[in-house]
Amino acid sequence: MEIRITKVGIVSCSGEELPGGTLCRQACRKVLEKLKPHETVTICLPLFIAGGEEERTFASNYPTITVDGCEKLCAAKATEMLSGKPSKSLLIPEILKKRGLALPTKLRDFGPEEEDAAQAVAEEIAKAVDEVLGED
Amino acid sequence: MGKKHKKVLVLPCSGIGKTYGTLAREIAYEMVEQVRPGTATLTCLPLLIINDLNARHLITENPVMTLDGCPRDCAKKTVEALGKKVDRPFQVIKFYTAHKELKPEGITQLNDAGRKLAKVAAEELAATVDELAGQEK
C-alpha cells in the first residue's frame, strides 16, 4: 500500500548573530502560518540536540527542508547529523541573489524592505514544499 | 590580580514555535544593542550545535547566560553538551510571572507588551552581566 506523505518539517537556522538568521525565522513563520499551514510543521533546531526525541523521530520519518541564513549551513548540517539528510537545503543569500534582493542589515525590527526579502524567501520555501510533496 | 572577562555571552533559545522563544531572542537583542553593548555579546546557537570552532572558543573562554523559552532548556543543554557549565541559566517566563501586566503574544513579531517586557527583562539582567563580566578569568 502506498502511503502518501502530507507533511514536511521546516528547519530554520534562526541564527541570532546575523540578519540572515532573523530573515530565515520570519520567512519560515510565513510559510507555517500563511503559505503552507496544512503541509508544514516547524522543528526547533536546538531541540534536536536537547534530546527532543519527537523532533528527531519526525525528521527521520518525514521529509525536511532546511533554511539557512549563511554559508555555514548549520540547519542543514545539524539535521543531517542528528536526524537524516534533508530533502532540500535552501540558502538565503542564494535566494535573494536570484531574486535581485539585498540581504537585510539589521537583526530585528524589520520594515517593508526586509518584508519583501522575507516574502521572497517564504515563496521559495513554499515552492520547495510543493516539490518535496510532489515527489512522493 | 587576574584578568577580568570582557565579554558575557547571552544565548537565547530562539525557539521558533513559541512566543517565549521570540521573547528570549528579543531580550538578548535588547541586552547586546541597548543595555550592555560591548559587554553582552551573541553567537548563533546553531553554530554550537554543529560544533563550530570559533563559537565553541567563545563560550569556553567567557561566562555564559542562557535564556530559554520553555522548560526543555534547549539553549542551556546545547551549551552543556559541549562540556561548558552555564554560569546563569534563565527561563524567560519568570519575567512574565514577575510582570503579569506585560503579557507577550506573537511569534513572528512580539506585541507591544512583549517588547516592553523584553526591555524590562534586559534591564533586570544587566546586573548579572556586570557581575559575570567582573569575575576573574
Architecture of domain A8-129: 3-Layer(aba) Sandwich (3.40)
- The ipTM is 0.90
Which grid coordinates are listed for A12?
530554520
What is the per-residue pLDDT for A3? 60
Which residue pairs, CB below 8 angstroms and at least 24 apart, start in B124-127?
Answer: B124/B95, B125/B27, B125/B31, B125/B35, B125/B65, B125/B90, B126/B31, B126/B35, B126/B36
Residue B24 lies in a domain: yes
- Cell 532540500 -> residue: A88
Which grid coordinates are listed for B83?
562540556
Total domains in chain B come to: 1
With beta carbons less than 8 A apart as the criterion, state whether A16 and B28 touch. Answer: yes
Task: Summarize pLDDT for A101-128 with one digit per residue, the tens.
Answer: 999 999 999 988 899 999 999 999 999 9
Chain B residue numbers touching A44 (CB-CB < 8 A): 13, 15-17, 21, 74
- Domain, as residue range, for B108: 8-127
Task: Summarize pLDDT for B72-95 with one digit per residue, the tens.
Answer: 999 999 999 999 999 999 999 999
Nearest to B16 among A17, A25, A72 (CB): A25
Residue B132 lies in a domain: no
B42 and chain A in contact, CB less than 8 A: yes
Taking the CA atoms of A94, A96, A97 and A98 in sequence, report the sign of the dihedral they define. positive
The identity of residue A94, as a single letter, is E
Chain B residue numbers touching A42 (CB-CB < 8 A): 16-17
Task: Summarize pLDDT for A49-69 with one digit per residue, the tens.
Answer: 776 677 778 777 889 999 999
Cα–Cα distance for residue pair A38/A33, rounded to 1 Å: 9
